[in-house]
Amino acid sequence: MLELYTAEPNTFFLKPVIALAEKQAAYTTHYFDAAAFEQFDRGFPADVESHLQLEREGPLLVHDGVLISSTFFMLEYLAEALPGTPLMPAGAYDAYRARAWGQFLALQLGALVPQLGCLKYLRPRLQQGDQTALAARIGAIEPLERRLGWQNLLAHPAEELELAALRERLQAALARIEKALGETPWLAGADYSIADIDAFAMLRVLPDLAPEQLNPAATPRVEAFLDRVAQRPAVRAALATARSAHPERYFVPGVEAARWG
């Protein structure tokens, strides 16, 4: 039995939904609101790895009772375990490149995109509620690293100068992606792969969060890449799973969130 615990199809939550749609796989969806801390409710599946994985509040894949956390691992697993559309490059070098992109994107976009999104959308949402109850809820989160991610988000001033500095840090990653797309049709070579799913899920929100860095003039190949991926039937199907009017505004603390302060 294949099950996916997921939230709105954005960033980390979008990746496995696209892969499952590409594979035309049958699975059960368990929707939860990570921004409302439902991942900490009693009965939510968890193990040591899911508690400690760097994406913090991201989705969980469960296959025949085995938990898989960290979305790039999910993409690799789905690519290799399920029949259907090939999502892992056949050649050894291109397979290496797909995995190398996974590591690069996790460290770069996985750290910066959630910060920008949380500061723009999640922090104001959290500030609207009962702050005493919110502090108590966050104070009960384990392990400490996950708790600090939420606490630092609420303490963060989100000044425009700091936001501008975060956006500028995206430039090196975007330049590398732009260059790669000028050398091969897709990030890991001639064929669409999990590297492209991984990148698309994080890049697609940047025209909103960092328009100076990702736009047709500054990053034409990335823009064209986003358009190509967005036109895939599986991607349209994945985005259509949204339950809110603006899934692109749905963010939770991501990689290394505890280091925001």
Rounded Cα gap, residues 47 and 98, in angstroms: 27
**Res 163: pLDDT:** 84
Tokens coding 217: 């003039």
Residue 239: Cβ within 10 Å count: 18
* Contact of 27 with 20, CB cutoff 8 Å: yes
Given a cut of 60, is residue 234 above it in pLDDT?
yes
Average pLDDT over all residues of the chain: 93
Given a cut of 80, is residue 256 above it in pLDDT?
no
Q: In the chain, how long is the greatest CA-to-CA distance? A: 55
Number of domains in the chain: 1
Strands 66-68 and 2-6: unpaired
**Res 258: pLDDT:** 39
On the question of a cis peptide bond just before residue 211, with omega within 30 degrees of 0, the verdict is no
Lowest pLDDT segment from 32-36, 73-77, 143-147? 143-147
- CATH number for the domain including 101? 1.20.1050.130
88, amino acid identity: M
Given a cut of 50, is residue 257 above it in pLDDT?
no
H-run or E-run covering 67: strand 66-68
Residue 140: Cβ within 10 Å count: 10
**Res 164: pLDDT:** 87
* Contact of 155 with 165, CB cutoff 8 Å: no
pLDDT in tens, 136-187: 999 999 888 889 889 988 886 767 777 888 899 999 999 999 999 999 999 9
Give the helix ranges, DSSP H, for the chain.
Answer: 14-23, 48-52, 71-81, 92-107, 109-117, 123-127, 131-139, 144-155, 160-181, 194-203, 206-209, 220-230, 233-239
- The percent of residues above 90 in pLDDT, for the chain, comes to 82
User: What is residue 46's three-state secondary structure?
Assistant: coil
Give me the domain span that covers residue 2.
1-261
* Contact of 78 with 20, CB cutoff 8 Å: yes
Rounded Cα gap, residues 171 and 175, in angstroms: 6
Q: What is the mean pLDDT of residues 90-106?
A: 96
pLDDT in tens, 112-122: 999 999 999 99
* Contact of 197 with 15, CB cutoff 8 Å: yes
